[in-house]
Amino acid sequence: MKSRRRFLQEALLAGTGSLIMPGFLKSKGTEPKLKKVGVQLYSVRTEMLADAVGTLKKLGQIGYQEIESAQSVKGNYYGLAPKEIKKILKDQGMTLRSGHTHIDKNWQQSIEQAAEAGQEYIICSVLPSPGQTIENYQKSADMFNQAGEQCKKSGVLFG
């Protein structure tokens, strides 16, 4: 038997969903109103490491339009140079929207590559300093603020 609290929670969730869902759907049928669909390359990292150009072309053929790269053993663009990935994506009708990397010894190079590739955002995918303490979070916040300033100088947004 459901408690009154659980019933109200579920009813609220269902009601909220019914209000939000029509905004995601077209008036005819249930096709999404998505303008551009993207993919994070980390989800196809094995394929990217084996054949970056071929994988990007297949993603374009499938219909992906936005790309988020990810740092790999071959660099930020799976072995491709920033200008090279920019051209391949442009030829496929895609955009390199973002890339996730780490604040490490190559951080400044990552920023420069992001700017050269035409990437809008650079995302730090992990805390730059290990440990779950208030001190560490404050240190990480300071590092993120500095990273944001560095990115801003290169015309890239930090996240």
The pLDDT of residue 4 is: 66
Over range 13-37, report the average pLDDT.
Answer: 59
Tens-digit pLDDT profile for residues 59-74: 999 999 999 999 999 9
Q: Do 110 and 77 fall within a single domain? A: yes
Residue 57, token pair as written in the block: 């072309």
Q: Do 57 and 8 fall within a single domain? A: no
Tens-digit pLDDT profile for residues 89-129: 999 999 999 999 999 999 999 999 999 999 999 999 888 77
Tens-digit pLDDT profile for residues 29-59: 566 666 888 889 999 999 999 999 999 999 9
Checking if the pLDDT of 28 tops 80, the result is: no
Q: Do 26 and 98 fall within a single domain? A: no
Q: Do 97 and 40 fall within a single domain? A: yes
Read off the CATH number of the domain in which 106 is found.
Answer: 3.20.20.150
Q: Do 59 and 131 fall within a single domain? A: yes
3-state DSSP of the chain: CCCHHHHHHHHHHHHHHHHHHHHHECCCCCCECCCCCEEEHHHHHHHHHHCHHHHHHHHHHHCCCEEEEECECCECCCCCCHHHHHHHHHHCCCEEEEEEECCCCCHHHHHHHHHHHCCCEEEECCCCCCCCCHHHHHHHHHHHHHHHHHHHHCCCEEC
The pLDDT of residue 154 is: 93
Q: Do 13 and 58 fall within a single domain? A: no
Question: What total number of domains does the chain contain?
Answer: 2
The pLDDT of residue 67 is: 94
Q: Do 9 and 82 fall within a single domain? A: no
Q: Do 115 and 150 fall within a single domain? A: yes
The pLDDT of residue 25 is: 47
Q: Do 76 and 128 fall within a single domain? A: yes
Q: Do 13 and 44 fall within a single domain? A: no
Q: Do 41 and 97 fall within a single domain? A: yes
Domain hosting residue 138, numbered range: 34-158
Q: Do 136 and 100 fall within a single domain? A: yes
What integer best gives the mean pLDDT of the chain? 85
Residue 114, token pair as written in the block: 């992001």
